[in-house]
Structure 1
Amino acid sequence: MIPALNPLVLNLKESATLAVNIEARRLRDMNKEIYHFGFGQSPFPVPEILRRGLEEHSHKNHYLPTRGLPKLCEAVSSFYQKQFNYTFTPEDVFVGPGSKELIFQCIYLIEGPLLVPAPSWVSYGPQATLRGKLIKPIITQRNNSYKLTAEELDRACYSLGEGQKILILNNPGNPTGAVYTHDEMKDLAEICRAYHVVVISDEIYAMIDFNHQKQAGMSQYYPEGTIVSGGLSKSFSAGGYRLGVLLIPEELAILKQALKSIISETYSSVSAPVQYAAYAAYASFDELEEYISTCCDIHRFAGEYLHSRFLKMNLNCPRPGGAFYLFPDFENYRDVFRRQGISTGYTLCEKILQEARVALLPGADFYLPATNLGVRVASVDYDGAAVLKDWKGAQECTAEKTMEFFPNLVRGCDALEDFLKNSI
């Protein structure tokens, strides 16, 4: 029997980030040396406070409230007030099985086309496709570190005419590592308010800001129309815990009621032990600040190392300001690759994986044209526990130490450099 499926899913493919991770791991399982620049997962160990919280509450076997463990909602609200000056109350907080799922629920519930800056994270568009939404990529510019400008947003909103729209904005950004300034965010907020745009502000990397400043959040300038998402996976190095949070302002109360209803009919509630573990982390965040600051310093060093190597290879690459990604492009080699029959980012990444053993993702997976020669690089292919244990700061990281701490980043760059030299 061949069952009929929802036609909206027939053209979907597996998430590009998950697919490249599976392929890289498959090749490594075959004892092939692969430099895995394709998957963004924090390499650091789960903080002790989270592990202890999970262990101490492993016996909790009751369903928790749909919206989340009440004291966890209070702790999340307090965390965002203290760290980012947001004004969300505990009643505004929802807990879900990862921020990815919560973003999908929002996209499903809110009417209107989805505005997606390009490049942006791979899953926003497919999630909108599952809802049958129009997706409007907004091409951003390399000379602005691929950050969305107010002018670009204005043109996109105007082109769509009347009616509600949704903007999803990731800050710090995946796949570029870009971080918005307060002035940039304020300008975007004015456009969103003028066009009645509902903003989903994906702030999963909010604590990985290389300037160690309180980030510019859309909620600071457009609180009545901004939904904030976050969670444990990136800054807290607990992706496998699958716990995300969503903060919805009172002005969007109708969404809160709808979200409670849809949660009650889908996943019901997040694992109780995991919610108690998350409470331990959010409520005692002061105990984690040194850990998160040190991890951020290591992310910054790894990103800046790759950035400097890419520039020496004559790649175009904005300097990352946060998260753990870079977005270099091979535009300066376009003619070289064209003579080899390579004209798309997909074929380029396939060739680099085959010949240089470096796993990358093409710009087309991030809403750019197929011919775009940009690639996403994740800077986390190293043993985070070992680096964290012996990290003395970037100023102590000599060439020898860099090789000791980040061998796959160094060798991956060497392999990519050799690949380019051999291509000319």
Structure 2
Amino acid sequence: MAAKATAQALVPRLRPFLSRTILSPTLASNELVNAHPNKDKLLHLGFGQSPFPVHPSLTQAIDAFQHNQYEHTSGTESLRKSIASFYERKHGLDLSNYDVIVTPGSKLGLFALQAAIEGPTLLPVPSWVSYEPQMHLLGLSAVKFKALLSDEGMRLDPQAMAAAIEEHVAAGGAAPTKMIINSPNNPTGLVISNPHEIAQFAAENNIAVISDEIYDGVTPNGAWSTFGARYEMMMKPSTRPTNTVSPTGLSKVFSLGGWRVGVLLVPKSMQGAFSGVLRSAGIDCPRHQGSFYLYPNFDKFREALKQQRGIETSDDLARALVMDRNLVTLPATAFGDNETLSLRLALCDYDGGKMLERYVRDGRQLSDAALEEVAPRIHAAAHALANFASSL
């Protein structure tokens, strides 16, 4: 009996939140596909990672790398200088007021930022699956508000933000000290349309902006620049300090997900054819603006889905599509969006190398017929989803 008691005493007491923590929905969808008996027949739109090959110059550089000594905790000085030069050149951002920190992936950088800035976080809905779990791990609360989605982009309405803060404070919570934005956005595939309004709101309410820019560069027309540059333009000639931290990395734009190279820009002061097919079937889907994703909405089919198939939530809808159409998606609930019948579609299930070859061969443009040829599974997934909607 004493031995049993001793053994029990050796078991550490885990935080209650850990028992409620679930596997990341994006990774869960991948495991679902890998465990499926007919996984080769599944149209996998659940997991977002770049399908393109790594550039040969990068693989050659890593093969030749022999340095194995400890480096500065903020990253190799030459690398940080190269990153600073890149952002100054690409975005016109004056990095004399910033520290450049290299992290083992941007996710750890985001976690460190949330840990460093105390207080609740203002969070738009929908948002990426890991922001809120990171807050819970740190014992922080999320102050949520609904983002507005349209063909013009993703708009974060200052009135909605103010109302969410007022409600949170009235319920006894503290005012948020930071907010997280992401543009181009996961899961919606949209670019934030009102950065100047957000900058003004953040400045007036003394809120630090964590601008997750991991998809910076994954846009068809370069529509987004780092929020830090937007903030500086907005506040000049104000004497207010820069109030934006920009986490980013190499995983999306350079197809280096497994290399785990993240970047933090920290102030020292502190694809269109797919959506066209969905629209033709009557599915509401804002036109793609950046990242790998689309975020179609099935609310107009809500009554038919409930009456014909017993579908009432986005989780029900995602399960039905796997069973009926071999189509893997992620439900809106994975992104904190519990009210809408939306799905996130990751348009990554194709051979990026073949796509690049065809793109160069065709004079740096791709017709719908060429897209169907080089990305047949994406084409099939679009029509599977459209046919599902047409059956309602």
Q: Shared topology, TM-score over 0.5?
A: yes
**Structure 1 residues 93 and 398: CA distance shift in structure 2, 3 A:** closer
Partner of 2:62: 54
Which residue type is aligned with residue 5 of structure 1?
L
What is the distance in 1 between the residues matched to 2:41 and 2:134? 34
Per the alignment, in what secondary structure is the counterpart of residue 368 of structure 1?
coil
What is the distance in 1 between the residues matched to 2:256 and 2:178? 29
Shift of 1:26: 2.7
Shift of 1:111: 0.5
What is the distance in 1 between the residues matched to 2:364 and 2:87? 32
TM-score (norm 2): 0.88
What is the distance in 1 between the residues matched to 2:347 and 2:252? 13
Are 2:35 and 1:17 equivalent residues in the alignment? no
Are 2:81 and 1:74 equivalent residues in the alignment? yes
Deviations 1:291-316 (A, max 9, x none): xxxxxxxxxxxx20111011012111
Partner of 1:187: 197
Comparing 408-417 with 29-38, which one deviates more in the overlay? 29-38
Partner of 2:216: 206
Q: In 2, are the aligned partners of 1:73 and 1:90 still within 8 Å (CA)? A: no
Deviations 1:3-41 (A, max 9, x none): 5322122211111111112212332x7454011111110
Shift of 1:353: 0.8
Which residue type is aligned with residue 416 of structure 1?
L
Are 2:186 and 1:171 equivalent residues in the alignment? no
Are 2:245 and 1:227 equivalent residues in the alignment? yes
Q: In 1, are the aligned partners of 2:97 and 2:269 still within 8 Å (CA)? A: no
Deviations 1:104-130 (A, max 9, x none): 111112111111111111100000010
TM-score (norm 1): 0.82
Shift of 1:363: 0.8
Q: Show the 5 A alignment for 1:221-260.
A: 221=231, 224-252=242-270
Query: Quick check: which has more Rg, 1 or 2?
Result: 2
Q: In 1, are the aligned partners of 2:332 and 2:343 still within 8 Å (CA)? A: yes
Deviations 1:258-278 (A, max 9, x none): xxxxxxxxxxxxxxxxxxxxx
Partner of 2:235: none
**Structure 1 residues 400 and 171: CA distance shift in structure 2, 3 A:** closer
Q: Show the 5 A alignment for 1:8-407.
A: 8-27=17-36, 30-57=38-65, 59-89=66-96, 92-143=99-150, 145-161=153-169, 163=175, 165-181=177-193, 184-213=194-223, 215=225, 217-221=227-231, 224-252=242-270, 303-339=271-307, 340-369=309-338, 371-392=339-360, 397-407=366-376
**Structure 1 residues 50 and 103: CA distance shift in structure 2, 3 A:** same
Which residue type is aligned with residue 359 of structure 1?
V
**Structure 1 residues 188 and 406: CA distance shift in structure 2, 3 A:** same
Shift of 1:137: 1.6
Which residue type is aligned with residue 240 of structure 1?
G
5+ residue gaps, structure 2: 1-7, 233-240
Which residue type is aligned with residue 178 of structure 1?
L
**Structure 1 residues 346 and 213: CA distance shift in structure 2, 3 A:** closer
5+ residue gaps, structure 1: 253-302
What is the distance in 2 between the residues matched to 1:399 and 1:163? 49
**Structure 1 residues 213 and 319: CA distance shift in structure 2, 3 A:** closer
Deviations 1:63-86 (A, max 9, x none): 111110011111111111111122
Which residue type is aligned with residue 84 of structure 2?
S
Partner of 1:4: 13
Shift of 1:91: 6.7
Q: In 2, are the aligned partners of 1:189 and 1:218 still within 8 Å (CA)? A: no
Per the alignment, in what secondary structure is the counterpart of residue 220 of structure 2?
coil
Q: In 2, are the aligned partners of 1:219 and 1:227 still within 8 Å (CA)? A: no
Which residue type is aligned with residue 47 of structure 2?
F
**Structure 1 residues 94 and 316: CA distance shift in structure 2, 3 A:** same
What is the distance in 2 between the residues matched to 1:69 and 1:89? 18
Shift of 1:323: 1.0
Q: In 2, are the aligned partners of 1:208 and 1:235 still within 8 Å (CA)? A: yes
Deviations 1:122-158 (A, max 9, x none): 1000000101111112111234644312222233334
What is the distance in 2 between the residues matched to 1:41 and 1:13? 21
What is the distance in 1 between the residues matched to 2:181 and 2:336? 14
Per the alignment, in what secondary structure is the counterpart of residue 167 of structure 1?
strand
Shift of 1:185: 0.9
Which residue type is aligned with residue 210 of structure 1?
P
Shift of 1:395: 7.9
Shift of 1:178: 1.3
What is the distance in 2 between the residues matched to 1:394 and 1:36? 29
Shift of 1:219: 4.1
Q: In 1, are the aligned partners of 2:183 and 2:215 still within 8 Å (CA)? A: yes
Count of aligned pairs? 368
Deviations 1:391-410 (A, max 9, x none): 14588534442221110011
Q: In 2, are the aligned partners of 1:346 and 1:364 still within 8 Å (CA)? A: yes
